[in-house]
Amino acid sequence: MPRPVTVTYHVAPDSAAVARAAAEFFSSSVSAAVKARGRARVALSGGSTPKAMFALLADPSQPFLKQVPWDALDLYWVDERAVPPTDADSNYRMTNEAMLSHVPLAADRIHRMEGELDPEVAAARYESTLRNTFRLEGAETPTFDLILLGMGDDGHTASLFPHTEALNEMSRLVVANHVPQKDTWRITLTWPVINQAREVAFLIEGAAKTQVLHDVLLGPYQPETYPSQLIRPASGKLTLLLDTRSAAKLPEPVPSETVSGSTGTLELS
Ligand SMILES: O=C(O)[C@H](O)[C@@H](O)[C@H](O)[C@H](O)COP(=O)(O)O
């Protein structure tokens, strides 16, 4: 059975407000990690939702470019498509265009998954990258300071798709995962690595996610069908950054004193 977790969900009124809430969350989480440990190691997801947040972080008219301690940050990816970094489907390309090429983050602090390689080779090489940069020994798992996730309308997260091999992987750090639903290959962190992070947050928005978010959080535990249910961080905490549309079938949140919008909590046993 999964470990119990307290889910805190912040609900913002619209897409722009979600992106701002996510940028604020990212900035404060990274700053807290650097204050506590001198550095921050963060893994980002791709897809479309995080793009607006990345653009806000890089926008010189916004406070984040100055707030984020970029010189103490190492950026990794949660997953990548099996395509070159120049491909329109590349998570790296999206992140580079929206943020990386506009922020003072040194190239050797950007740890790209090599989607242009054979997926199994790319997964093995990324696992080596994690072992080397986190200085892991034996069967140790890396502890990221923050992992930012999205959720597909089929309940997948990272590239952990329903009824795929990667859901069963509990010892490797990174795997290649064939996704028959999309007839494609992906490279992805495994769910035990995600659960080891000090902080895990989902960034989810839009009416297309309303039902699946309800089913993942409030429906029966069936992770083969809803892989996002595998995300039960060892910290016992999980944060969701939502808009009113995606949160429409969750218990009504209450207006928050600390962040714009409203906040709710759920205890998942
Ligand atoms: O490579 C990817 O696509 C992502 O890592 C994936 O897990 C994404 O977070 C979800 O598919 C949600 O994607 P959207 O934000 O586009 O809905």
Burial of 57 (0-12, 13-18, 19+ CB in 10 A): buried
Whole-angstrom Cα distance, residue 35 to residue 52? 26
**HSE-CB of 225 using CA atoms within 13 angstroms:** 9
Residue 1: pLDDT band with limits 50, 70, 90: confident
Token digits of residue 15 = 């897409």
- Answer yes or no: is 34 within a domain: yes
Q: What pLDDT score does 259 carry? A: 67
Domain boundaries, position 200: 5-112+143-164+196-268
Whole-angstrom Cα distance, residue 96 to residue 112? 10
Token digits of residue 212 = 């699946």
- Torsion sign across C-alpha atoms 151, 142, 34, 90: negative
| CB of 152 sitting under 6 A from ligand 1 | yes
Beta strands 73-77 and 40-44: pairing type?
parallel
DSSP conformational letter for 110: B
Spatial CA neighbour of 227 closest among 140, 153, 148, 143: 153
Whole-angstrom Cα distance, residue 218 to residue 251? 10
- Answer yes or no: is 264 within a domain: yes
Residue 153 has pLDDT above 90, yes or no: yes
Residue 27 has pLDDT above 80, yes or no: yes
Residue 158 has pLDDT above 70, yes or no: yes
Q: State the distance from the centre of ligand 1 to the C-alpha of 257, rounded, in angstroms.
A: 30
The pick from 157, 184, 231 for probing ligand 1's pocket by mutation, whose C-beta has the most ligand atoms within 8 angstroms, reads 157
Q: State the distance from the centre of ligand 1 to the C-alpha of 159, rounded, in angstroms.
A: 8
Supply the residue whose CA is at minimum distance from atom 7 of ligand 1. 158
Please give the average per-residue pLDDT across 235-249, as a whole number: 98
Q: What pLDDT score does 198 carry? A: 98
The pick from 15, 44, 49, 81 for probing ligand 1's pocket by mutation, whose C-beta has the most ligand atoms within 8 angstroms, reads 49
- Answer yes or no: is 89 within a domain: yes
Across the chain, mean pLDDT equals: 97
φ and ψ at 106, to 5 degrees? -65, 150
Q: State the distance from the centre of ligand 1 to the C-alpha of 25, rounded, in angstroms.
A: 19
In sequence order, what are the residues at sequence separation of 6 or more whose Cβ sits closer than 8 angstroms to the Cβ of residue 160?
166, 167, 177, 188, 191, 227, 228, 230
- Answer yes or no: is 48 within a domain: yes
Per residue in 193-214, pLDDT (tens digit) is 999 999 999 999 999 999 999 9
Per residue in 102-115, pLDDT (tens digit) is 999 999 999 999 99
- Answer yes or no: is 216 within a domain: yes
Residue 257 has pLDDT above 90, yes or no: no
Number of structural domains (the chain) is: 1
Cβ 119 vs Cβ 186: under 8 Å: yes
Task: Indicate which CATH number applies to the domain containing 158.
Answer: 3.40.50.1360
pTM: 0.97
Q: How many residues does the chain have?
A: 269
Q: What pLDDT score does 260 carry? A: 74
The b/e string for 80-115 (b: 16+ C-beta within 10 A; e otherwise) is bbbbebeeeebbbbbbbebbbebbebeeebbbbbbb
Q: State the distance from the centre of ligand 1 to the C-alpha of 151, rounded, in angstroms.
A: 6
- Answer yes or no: is 127 within a domain: no
| CB of 150 sitting under 6 A from ligand 1 | yes
Q: How far is CA 40 from the centre of its chain?
A: 15
Task: Return the residue matching tokens 């960034």.
Answer: 203
In sequence order, what are the residues at sequence separation of 6 or more whose Cβ sits closer than 8 angstroms to the Cβ of residue 247?
9, 11, 210, 213, 253, 264
Whole-angstrom Cα distance, residue 264 to residue 269? 17
- Answer yes or no: is 189 within a domain: no
Residue 140 has pLDDT above 70, yes or no: yes
- Answer yes or no: is 66 within a domain: yes
What atom in ligand 1 is closest to the CA of residue 186?
1
